[in-house]
Structure 1
Amino acid sequence: MTPTLITETKPEDWTYISEGGATIVFSYRGPHNVQFSDRVLRLRKVAQGSSDNTLLNTNSEQPDDPMIAFQENIISKLIPSEFLPSLVMVVLDEDWLRSLVILRDGDRPAERRQTDQIDVRRTKGVLATDLIGSMPIAMEIKPKWGFLPTEYHLSPETVALKTGTCRFCMHTSFRMEQGAVGTTYCPLDLFSSDETRVRKALGALWAGWYESNGSLNNLRFFVQGRMTKPDDDHSVQLLAHFFTADGSTDVQNLRQSFTSVLAQALLDSPVLSLLSTLQRTLDVLDVEGLSKLYTQTLPDLPYNGLGSLVPDPSMEEWKDFVKIYHSDYHSWNHTVPSPRHLRHYLMAYLLSATFKDCSIIIWPKSTQVGSFDVTIIDMDIKSMDRLGKWERLDRKIVEHYKSSGSQRRCIDSQRVTQLGCTPMCYCSLASNVAYRYI
């Protein structure tokens, strides 16, 4: 099969869309081309100033971007393909990439340009379904963590906090202390499957977007392929066309219409329920329990952080893990995890992190008001060397929240239902109540 070459297009055919911590995305806007039309180009990034010193050997064959194999072999076995974008490999060219940087780097946020850049030494990238540039409007939501941990593996110092307030809300408090923009959004409302709570979550996301002038990344709007801010009157008018019957751009009316229309779209889709279930069933120990199991299983090794001495899984190991997840995993006694399952628990936590960090794109099926579809994107493989960082961050977040005196209560409706209680009695559940993972 003849490989797809990026040099079949011109750098000016591509428009900057958005970026995350590891990748940057461009939308194809050139002449019609069966290989590139309605596609986005996902490129890897490196820390600013490091691309010329990269360890990539450009004189030898580089592997395909692992995102493609990971989705094909792992993610697609856990999430139906109808909720995933298509991904294909494209052969890159260093001179072409350098030209793209010159053309489009100015479109990136200033804080991103100071931190990282396109890795121009990469020889392979990813073409994915364009759910933003090919649509009149699209919305991106980063739902984040959709569950509360159970009590079993939490310390006496953290159990009350972690089972009463969700990780996102504690992290928000921590970030605000450091000067970040705040938000009242709670993921457990969005994941609740309760219309009133879903509307509340969407209202909080809207308020965060509006009040921060689009700087918060939990909700992003794209109009005609470009990220939109609240002060862009023309784009807001186009948004109103899809959310309101009369096209009203009154701020309160548009917010109410947005929360109503999007709530119904999310309630009609199984995506959030699927993500919540995957997150909670893969992260059954919490990072605290995972750390305990790690040190108990490997007591003689120097402790340089959780997972620091563990190699990343191969793709074959990931394939084997998915088979185990579908068969034996749910019958294990997670309250007393076996040391022989340590590597599988580490892999499960990494996979859970993928689903905690992904985004969903909500896009119109047609010009009819309220007709939307949902696709899950940004599902990268996480590395073992991230575990130690997450463990330290978790400790900082909880310690800060404890000292802050905050008392926000977050209700995990799926956990409450599984425990057979109503939300009214949830906070008073005894710490020894049994919890059965599905």
Structure 2
Amino acid sequence: MFHSQVVVSMIPLLNKSEEAENWVYIGEGNINLVVAYRGDDPTYKGKVLRVIKNCKNKKLSTQDSILFKKQFSENVIQLLLGEEYVVPMFPVHTSTEFLQTLAVNVESHRPAFRTDKQIVVNSPTSFFLDDLTQIWPNSPAMTFELKPKWGFKPDSSFIDMSNTIKKRTTCRFCMHSYLRRVPKNNFCPLDLYSMDPVRVQKAVNVLLKENPLKKTLSVSINGKKASLTSEMDQQLFSTFIEYNDDHNTLMRDILERVLLHDPILKILKSLQMNLDEIDIEGIYSFFQRNSDYFKLVTDDINTWIDVVNRYQQRLEMKNSPINELDEQKQRIYEYILSMTFKDCSLMINVTPTVKENNTSKSITLSNGLSFQYDIKVIDTDLKSIDKIPFWFELDQSIVRHAIDTEFDKECY
């Protein structure tokens, strides 16, 4: 087991309100808010601080539950994705005084749809991470933050017959967008995951043009947000590279080449599919049928390490009976992991180089320009098992709406 007391005694301390003045808002998700350091202390230069937000229907976060996030990242996510794609997390003490001031300072910079959840000001521990926009401190960097979404269509015998054809025809993202009345667009994540140059280019083109998809892709240069809905500011782009032609075309070519060159989307698609072999319809039936027979433990790292080991063994065995309660419990755990990988984001950083490096993390475009790149997978916190009923109801709403209204989009 993880001995939090040993770790806590070794971590730094942010305990003064004035220290919060050196941290600036850069973004947030459902669970965490992230600020970047802009002061002069070399201890914090090149770092961001991730603080937790309050969540409805969640028990109060304790030091052990917060530090479990570090364990989960290092012992589960890293094992499944590979060390090169995971950002190391370093715990730091955060006082109530510091967090209260930080919460006040960032409030005006937060998007309105995020302000229903606030920073937990009595959180005893937060996390330092490397600032992924500054991984080459003396070089310019372009950063793509991409949420690739679900990369597959389900093919499970547990899907109800009335839903089977629709689920095997139209991908979940496109059906969900249709339910939410997102303005019609041509983006389908299956194009992004296809590894077909024509389809990947099509997906990237849409992402760089469509305003409704701004939550799916954002771009920054040297840490400053760039607009995707208008011609990029010449001065901002010139801080990245001297380039006389169309900036958006260059952005498209860079992102497209990186996604085709790197195996990360193949890895994510494989994890999503194999961890969700049963589909939520089967998982929900297991959850209902067996909830009285076993307790689902989520805050014990040894449980999750065992889940990963059993998952990898199952892949090697190919066939594994699922009529046993223990195996059904395993599949529920696996589904929870699949939901993490369906909702993660990619931080893709690119910097110009004189020529293509000998490392695998470099590309050269058709115009002769070469770039070094780095990819990290973020937003990989463990999802809640309690959300299984919600996921099932949402799934059924998405599919029923597509069927009832004869939504006829075919995804490949």
> Cα distance 1:175–1:383, how it changes in 2: closer, same or farther (>3 A)?
same
Aligned residue pairs, count = 384
CA contact (8 A) 1:62 1:124 kept: no
In the TM superposition, what are the counterparts of 1:322-361 in structure 2 within 5 Å? Answer: 322-331=308-317, 333=319, 337-361=323-347
Q: Indicate the SS of the match to 2:40.
A: coil
Please tell me the residue identity of whatever aligns with 1:397: I
Displacement after TM superposition at 1:133 (Å): 5.6
Task: Give 1:380's aligned residue.
Answer: 381
Distance 1:192 1:323 in 2: 28
- Kindly, what percent of the aligned residue pairs are identical? 29
Q: Indicate the SS of the match to 2:97.
A: helix
Task: Give 2:221's aligned residue.
Answer: 223
Please tell me the residue identity of whatever aligns with 1:26: V
Task: Give 1:285's aligned residue.
Answer: 278
Displacement after TM superposition at 1:231 (Å): 6.4
Measured against aligned partners, the alpha-carbon deviations of 1:26-58 in whole angstroms (never above 9, x if no partner) come to 111110413x2111111111159x99xx8457x
In the TM superposition, what are the counterparts of 1:13-412 in structure 2 within 5 Å? Answer: 13-34=22-43, 36-46=44-54, 55-56=60-61, 63-113=65-115, 115-132=116-133, 136-176=141-181, 180-208=182-210, 211-212=211-212, 216-230=214-228, 235=233, 237-239=235-237, 246-248=243-245, 253-297=246-290, 310-312=296-298, 314-331=300-317, 333=319, 337-366=323-352, 369-371=369-371, 372-411=373-412
CA contact (8 A) 1:43 1:125 kept: yes
CA contact (8 A) 2:20 2:98 kept: yes
RMSD over aligned CA atoms reads: 2.8
Displacement after TM superposition at 1:293 (Å): 3.2
> Cα distance 1:28–1:246, how it changes in 2: closer, same or farther (>3 A)?
same
Please tell me the residue identity of whatever aligns with 1:327: Q
Measured against aligned partners, the alpha-carbon deviations of 1:232-260 in whole angstroms (never above 9, x if no partner) come to 877465347758x7343xxxx44433222
Distance 1:240 1:218 in 2: 25
Measured against aligned partners, the alpha-carbon deviations of 1:277-300 in whole angstroms (never above 9, x if no partner) come to 1110100000012123344546x7
CA contact (8 A) 1:186 1:410 kept: yes
CA contact (8 A) 1:28 1:39 kept: yes
Please tell me the residue identity of whatever aligns with 2:338: S
Distance 1:313 1:63 in 2: 7
Q: Indicate the SS of the match to 1:376.
A: strand
Displacement after TM superposition at 1:140 (Å): 0.3
Q: Indicate the SS of the match to 1:78.
A: helix
Distance 1:4 1:282 in 2: 37
Of 145-154 and 6-15, more deviation after overlay is shown by: 6-15
Task: Give 2:359's aligned residue.
Answer: none
* TM-score, with length taken from structure 2: 0.85
* TM-score, with length taken from structure 1: 0.80
Q: Indicate the SS of the match to 2:34.
A: strand
5+ residue gaps, structure 2, are: 1-8, 355-368
> Cα distance 1:206–1:232, how it changes in 2: closer, same or farther (>3 A)?
closer
CA contact (8 A) 1:24 1:42 kept: yes
Distance 2:279 2:78 in 1: 25
Distance 1:203 1:240 in 2: 22
> Cα distance 1:319–1:160, how it changes in 2: closer, same or farther (>3 A)?
same
Of 121-130 and 217-226, more deviation after overlay is shown by: 217-226
CA contact (8 A) 1:170 1:397 kept: yes
Distance 1:232 1:65 in 2: 42
Distance 1:231 1:319 in 2: 44
Displacement after TM superposition at 1:154 (Å): 1.3
